[in-house]
Structure 1
Amino acid sequence: MNAYVGIDLRRVQSGGFKEADRINRRGQNSARYIMVEMIRSMLRNKARMNNHIVDYYYKLKKEPHPKPDMVATIACVNRLDRTIMNLVCTNQAYDYTKTSH
């Protein structure tokens, strides 16, 4: 699903040279846009509901090495994707108390 959305990593290596990892953006840009907007909506509504993906976002934004906003957002999209796939495969509903934080 990460490849379909286009958030899987593109890694470039040659000998001792290693380029910084980036998402490849070869998937559906509309699906990627929707997933990013879902994360932003979760961040806006953090006071109304508990969510482990929002907790993960703020963990990435903590000092001493805070991640930039878009890097943290894409990491949360990846976490959301894995969560959705797990819930669908196991036929469960989301429960914040059962998640690992």
Structure 2
Amino acid sequence: MAIFSIARGKNYWQIVARYPHCDLVRKDDKKQIINWLMKLKGIAFNHAQRTTDKLIELAHLAYPVVSCSDIEVQQAKYYAQRLLNLSNQRQRIITKMVKLAKTLPNHDLENLESIPGFAQTTAVRVLAELGDLRRFSNPNKINAFIGIDPGRYQSGEMESNLSITNHGNAVACKLLYRAIGQIDNAAKTNPCHIADYYESKKLSSQTKGFKKIAIASIHKLIRTIYALIINDQPYDYNVATHNQKDFSRN
């Protein structure tokens, strides 16, 4: 929907819950909509004004096939509110997970949060899925636990069979896959050797097989996570790039 360009996440679904039909937008005047939007998190006056203008524009362009009192509109409102409730429940669970992680006799959570692009939510979810990484004797065993086929992983080389297998922890795999994108985005202001590798492989790739490049990047991320946990140290870009050069020479 066009409204995605001006509202995302919880704010988007709160707008859908309040205005699931164009006639509901038309019933409120501009000032009412602006004042309501400003009650949402992160929306100041200018943002609220732009969003209101867009809502009104879309409301006048729409040609609904049902009235605002029909069951379909009520269902849209119900499901939007259901998503909001689930989002709030998820946040409460994440908060409990963070509180529990901070009571552990180590700095695992803080060390993972130090990786560029690793927000606290990502860090605590990775810890929850992988558990205590000290039980693994090397990073390759973490690969097997997650379900990533190591293929050929030497000096950044990748064979065509590099893939995600059908066994392993699919949730952890998805988390780490998404984390590569987060790390790459964060690298614009906070450099990371994993983002360097990902971008260099994309530029040098003869095909559009970015998924395989992301999987290879997950290998580097797993090695990094393992090193931070085992050595109980935060991420340092200079140390990581130095170690990467030593690894490549070996």
TM-score computed with the length of structure 2 as normaliser: 0.34
Alignment of 1:39 with 2:168, yes or no, is: no
Residue pairs, 1:18-97, within 5 angstroms: 20-23=160-163, 24-63=165-204, 65=206, 68-97=209-238
Q: For 1:37 and 1:60, how far apart are their aligned partners in 2? A: 17
Residue of structure 2 in register with 1:5 after alignment: 146
Q: For 2:211 and 2:187, how far apart are their aligned partners in 1? A: 18
Q: For 1:40 and 1:61, how far apart are their aligned partners in 2? A: 13
Deviation at residue 46 of structure 1 after TM alignment = 2.0
- What secondary structure sits across from 2:212 in the alignment? helix
User: How many residues end up aligned between the 2 structures?
Assistant: 94
| Residue-by-residue CA offset, 1:3-29 (whole Å, 9 max, x unaligned) | 111112369xxxxxxxx4243231111
| AA in 1 matched with 2:161 | D
Structure 2: state its 5+ residue gaps. Answer: 1-141, 153-159, 245-250
State the structure with bigger RCO (CA 8 A, min sep 6), 1 or 2: 1
Higher percent of residues as helix: 2
> Which deviates more from structure 2 when the two are superposed, residues 21-30 or residues 46-55?
21-30
Q: For 2:208 and 2:172, how far apart are their aligned partners in 1? A: 23
Q: For 2:233 and 2:208, how far apart are their aligned partners in 1? A: 32
Higher percent of residues as strand: 1
Structure 1: state its 5+ residue gaps. Answer: 12-19
Deviation at residue 54 of structure 1 after TM alignment = 0.2
- C-alpha contact (below 8 Å) 1:60/1:67 kept by paired residues: no
| AA in 2 matched with 1:60 | K
- C-alpha contact (below 8 Å) 1:57/1:72 kept by paired residues: yes
Distance 1:63-1:22 versus aligned 2 partners, 3 A rule = closer
Q: Who wins on radius of gyration, i.e. which is larger?
A: 2
- C-alpha contact (below 8 Å) 2:143/2:150 kept by paired residues: no
TM-score computed with the length of structure 1 as normaliser: 0.79
Q: For 2:220 and 2:237, how far apart are their aligned partners in 1? A: 14
- C-alpha contact (below 8 Å) 1:4/1:28 kept by paired residues: yes
Q: RMSD of aligned C-alpha atoms? A: 2.3
Q: For 2:236 and 2:150, how far apart are their aligned partners in 1? A: 29
